Every structure is written in structure tokens, then in C-alpha cells.
A and B are shown apart, each in its own frame.
Chain A
Amino acid sequence: MVNIALLSLLVAQAAPPDLGSQADPFPTGSMNVGAPGGIPIGKLMLMPEIAVVVDGALGYTTLSTDQQELIAGPLPQHKAWPMLQEVELAFQATVDPYIRGDVFLTFSPQGVEVEEAYLKTLSLPWSLQIKAGQIYSPFGRTSQLHRHQWTFVDQPVSMQRLVGAEGLSGPGGDLSWLAPLPWFAEVHLDYQATRPGFDETVQQLTGVARLIQYFDLSDSATLGVGLSWALFQAEAPEQWKNLAGADLYFKFRDPTSRSSVVLQGELYGRQLSEQAFSEARWGGYGQAVWRIDRNWEVGGRYDNAPAPVAFGGGTQETWTALGTYYTSEFFRLRVQPSLVLLPEGQTGFQGLASFEFTIGAHAAHPF
């Protein structure tokens, strides 16, 4: 970040001494303002804000690759495996008085990806806003988050299997409306090409609708309630597939302290076009996270997801614990053991230890 104040110091030092005398027939006025030739580093102030986030981990699992199915980047069995999960590069700035632009590139073992690259309108009438480009679908809560916004080291298995390994994203546009109500109520309508969890090999035309509301229960407690629905059209118009989601969020934070408690849960249901409603697949998770103080956080998560395909049905339950240590807003260490319960009485253990750091621009605190 270029320091405007420092810059003004430079300018002040560069200005010649004030020669002004009242008898001067040519008053200097603006003649003494600024450095001759202008400010050489002024153009640096037009650079977008740049931040880099690096995520690395050490993983261990007793599960075979088949048993892990769909979890992004399966871990080798019975080995303590080091990973550089992701390097995210963020560029953010206003484009002009009417639009801002945000670009997030990710570098991971899977390659280089445009995680998001979108414009966002700032001045549409009637509380409307358009976000367009490569975007996350406005579906659900956790599936829209970038890796560095996740509380846990990984995403819930139910979300990875039913929504998409990395959520739903792709090129398209999202029109949203902030309803003129005394509480926060936002409606999203989105049209995109995505690669959903049930078939990530082809892009599918996708329509998404979401209603998200927040209610301030008191100065310390906020409740968030969301409903999402996605329709996918694969090969033929009649082959629509449905994905529905409901999410609940509750945050309690005494405003005088850094400590908070967050309860969060989501439910997903997916019905493919050839399926009867009774054949729809369901899943979801519930989690509780306690930020103890500025440095420590602990949490737990229960997840219920369809079992890997190799089992031909059934469900997988995953119990996860989390311990986080923050040295500052820019660095955290996490330890996350999980117990995995698969059909046919199979069980497994998975452990992740991760670090994450941010350099560059100060990101917004996640809510």
C-alpha cells in the first residue's frame, strides 16, 4: 500500500520556501504547491490492492483413495503427507466511479485457476447489484467461501459431494436485490455455466436463486437464515436437475470482547432428472466454533454425506475437531482430526495440520 501521508510529506518537503510578501505584484498562490514534474510515485496509488494467501498442510489418513472419493486431492494412505494446498493471489480495486473489480487467482497442485474474476456494480438504482464474470454461485453458505475464509481446514464432505468439490462456480452473472426492509434480506438470481458435484467433467447451464436474511436479535446476537435452489440443464432441456439448500447461522459476540461463538448448519438435497423424489440424495453438516480470545479458537463439526460411489449407497458420517492458534490476523495454525464412519462398519481416521499466512493488503474480517 502506498502511503498517502508519507507522500504528502514528500510533497511538502519538495515545495520551495514561501517567499510571499504583501508587496509582491505576482502573488505566488498555487505556484508553490507540489513538486515540479508532479509526484513521481503518484501512479502507484492507482495500483489495485494486492494480497497473497498461502495454505500448506501435513495430512495423514487411514482411508484408501476409494474410501475418500471426491475429497479434493485425496491423501495417500498411512503416510504423513506434506501439501501446499493453495496460493491465492488477490487483486482488488474500483474500476471507475460505478464499478469495482476483484480478481482471485489460485495456484495449486491441480494447476492455475481463476477462482473468481468479477465486476460488481456500485450504483445501480432500486438497491440492485450485478456481479458478473467468473464467480461463485450464490448457493449456500460455506460453498461460496474462499479457502482462507474457511474456519476448518477442509470443506464439509456433504458440500463437496452434493454441491461440488470446490463449491459451484463458473462464468456467468448474479443479479441481487437488497429488499427495503428493516433487516437484511437479499435475493439473488444467477445464470451461470458450472461444474456441479454430480458430474464435474462438463459445464452445465445453471440457474441459482437464493434468499439470505440476517436478524439482529440483540447487540450481541445475530441470526442468519438462507435458502438456495439451483437448476442444472445438461444435455437436453428436459434433463433438469435440482439442488436445494438451507442454511442457518447464529453468532454471539459480546461487543466488548474478541471472543465469540458461532453455530452454523446446512442441509443439501439433490434430485437428478431420472430420479424420483424418494431417490434424492441428502446431506448436511452442523458446526460450533468458539473463538476464545484473540489467539485461540476451537470447534467441532458433524457431517452426514452420501457414501463414496464404491459403496453403492449408504451414508458417511464424519466427526471433526478443530484447534486454531492465531498469532495475528495474518497467520494461523490449525490442527484438525476427523473420525470417518463409512457403510459396512468401515471406519477411518484423518488428521490435518495446516498453516496459513497472508501478506499484502489487509483483508476484511470474515463474518
Chain B
Amino acid sequence: MSHLSTALSVAFLLAAFASPARAAVNVVTTTEGLAAVVREVGGDDVKVIALSRGVQDPHFVDANPSLAVKLRNADLLVDVGMDLEIGWLPPLVTQSRNAAIQPGGARRLTAGNFVSPMDLPTGPVDRSQGDIHPSGNPHFLTDPRRAVQVAAAIAGRLAEIDPGNAAHYRERLQAFQGKVAAAGKGWKERLAPFAGRSVITQHKTLTYLLDWSGLKAAGYMEPKQGVAPPPSHVASLVAVAKAAGVKGVLVENYYDRRPADQLRDLAGVKVIVIPGDVGGTKEASDWVSYVDVLVKALGQAVQ
């Protein structure tokens, strides 16, 4: 009897030590949106940290050397790509000395390589057009279709890195796909009555979501990409808003909302401040709740 209990307690102890000893895959992402998708498919088989915060303008993250330390031990780096992080990620990746996460490395997943881009330049490109994204619009993660594609790519790569848990990643991917499909149905129903209506956004951050939902952007607060709105542009948007019947302007909370407020005063539109990513506000705590906040904002903006 005592032998049995000793054996049992040893077994319990072993089990207790064995389970935390199974190392989770260390995933580092550039944005909180990507981290949220990794969390969906990785569950407790991964540990995720994002290099930037959802309250931050992803175009202007500092290349703080402390971030290189986070990259040094990364088993997988997931970035957006399409030049979004060009101003800060490349020096950090070099500084990290992590060979596998260099561009093209086995442990580097650039999400943009797995989705088809919108806003591709169709003619000559130069910076008289502003601080453009010449490889296409990198703000694709709010699109349910593309989010699922990115999730599938991440799940596939996690299964390669951590084959022991491949089945888990597959199951969680399916669960996420189901979740997105269910939520997407609700979102579509909510926005369907307004199909074809237009909003104004600050930057081209909602292009993909608008495309998915059948809504349109009549114009942008930025006169050119990455350029702050001057009063003359705000004035010109008054006519645009009237012609397209725009009822609302959406502005990410890291932008200065004053130009949008001016447009509100001139054109009688609503100003709706939205999170720029997962974590941008309290409600936007994961991918579904973030897009839910955006869909609600769009619903407000079109009526």
C-alpha cells in the first residue's frame, strides 16, 4: 500500500514537473493584431509578445534596442510586411542576431505574403503621392477573409516548428475559422442594409473591411498617404461628403482628431474614434471583439 502511494506521488510529481517543462513556442509579432491571431491558433502551446501596442501608430514605432532582446529568443517572428514596418523592424532583426528570423528565414512569417493586396499602384509611383505603401495596402488584418488566411499560414508554420502539437494547431485554426464565420455572419447582417453607402476614414486602414462589407470610402482625411490634413483639404471634403451622402468619419485613436472635428462642424458628419488595432481600446481585447468594435463603428457611421 505504502509502495503504491509512493509510486503514485512520484508519478504525480513527475507529471507536475513534466507539463511545464514542455516549452511553449516563443512567438514575437510586430503588432497586437497579429499577436491576437497567433493566440487564437496557438492557444497555450505558444507564448506571444507583440513589439508594438494597439494604441500605437504602426507606421511609427521606435526601433528601441530593447525590442531586439525580445527578438533574440523568438522561435517565430510574425510581421505584417508590405513595407509597414520598414522604418523600424529591419535594424532590430539584424541586431537580434537570430539567424532564423531574418527575412526569408525558416522562423520568419510575413503575413502579407499570404494575402492578395489591395490598393496596388496602377501607374507611376513616387513620394509626391505621400508616404505611400508601394507594395500594396498593409492594413489587411481587419478583413475576415484575409485574417483567416493569415491564421492558416500561422497554424501551418507553428505545426512545422512544433510538430508534436500539430493537431492542436489544426483544431484551433478550425475553431477560429468557425468563430470568424459566425461573427462574420452577424456583421454582414448588421451592415447589409447599408450596402453601397460611404464613409470617410483617416488613412486607408479600413479598405479591406469596407470591401468585405460592401461599404465604400468616399474620401480620406489624409490628402495624401501619411500626410496630415490641412484646412484646405478638410474644406474640399465637405463637398465630397455631401455628394456621397457621408454621415460619419472614422479616425483611429492615435491620430489627431481635430481635422475630423472641423469636418463635423462644416459638413454635419459624425466623428467616430476607433481603435487602430487589437488592444487599441479596452473592448478590442481580441481579434473578434476588435472587428466587432469596427463593425459597430461602421454601423454608426453610415446612418
A binding-site residues for B, Cβ under 8 Å: 1, 3-6, 9, 94, 97-98, 100, 120, 122-124, 127-129, 178, 180-184, 186, 214-216, 219, 222, 224, 251, 253, 255-258, 294-295, 328-330, 359, 362-367
Contact = CB atoms under 8 A, between A and B. Distances in A.
B135 A362 contact: no
Nearest to A256: B55
Given A5-B120, A94-B103, A257-B254, A216 B66 contact: yes
B94 A122 contact: yes
A9 B226 CA distance: 25
B227 interface: yes
B186 interface: no
B159 interface: no
10 contacts: A123-B99, A182-B69, A214-B64, A251-B62, A255-B56, A256-B253, A328-B131, A364-B86, A364-B88, A364-B90
A257 B91 CA distance: 22
Given A182-B69, A258-B57, A328-B226, A124 B97 contact: yes
Nearest to A1: B134
A252 B84 CA distance: 23
A127 B69 CA distance: 10
B251 to A, nearest CB: 13
- Among A122, A129, A251, which residue has the most Cβ atoms of chain B within 10 A? A122
Contacts of A366: 63
- Among B60, B82, B97, B120, which residue has the most Cβ atoms of chain A within 10 A? B97
Chain B contact patch, size range: 35 or more
Contacts of B228: 294-295
A188 to B, nearest CB: 12
Contacts of A5: 82, 117, 120-121, 135-136
B79 to A, nearest CB: 14
- Among A1, A4, A98, A256, which residue has the most Cβ atoms of chain B within 10 A? A256
Contacts of A255: 52-53, 55-56
Nearest to B227: A328
A4 B87 contact: no
Contact of B97 (A97, A129, A359): A129
Interface of B: 52-53, 55-57, 60, 62-66, 68-69, 72, 82-83, 86-88, 90-91, 94-97, 99, 102-104, 117, 120-121, 125, 127, 130-131, 134-136, 226-228, 253-254
Contacts of B82: 5
Nearest to B62: A367
B125 A3 contact: yes
A120 B94 contact: yes
A94 B72 CA distance: 19
B2 to A, nearest CB: 45
Q: Which 6 A-B pairs have the closest CB atoms?
A: A123-B99, A184-B65, A5-B136, A255-B56, A365-B87, A256-B55
B135 A364 contact: no
A61 B54 CA distance: 48
Given A4-B135, A120-B94, A365-B88, A258 B64 contact: no
A127 B72 contact: yes
- Among A5, A251, A359, which residue has the most Cβ atoms of chain B within 10 A? A5
A330 B91 CA distance: 18
A124 B88 CA distance: 22
A362 B135 CA distance: 13
A212 to B, nearest CB: 8
Contacts of A253: 62
Given A4-B135, A127-B72, A362-B87, A330 B56 contact: no
Contacts of B91: 364
B64 A222 contact: yes
Given A255-B53, A362-B87, A122 B63 contact: no
A257 B94 CA distance: 26
A121 to B, nearest CB: 8
B121 A214 contact: no
A46 to B, nearest CB: 13
B55 A222 contact: no
A314 B158 CA distance: 65
A1 to B, nearest CB: 6
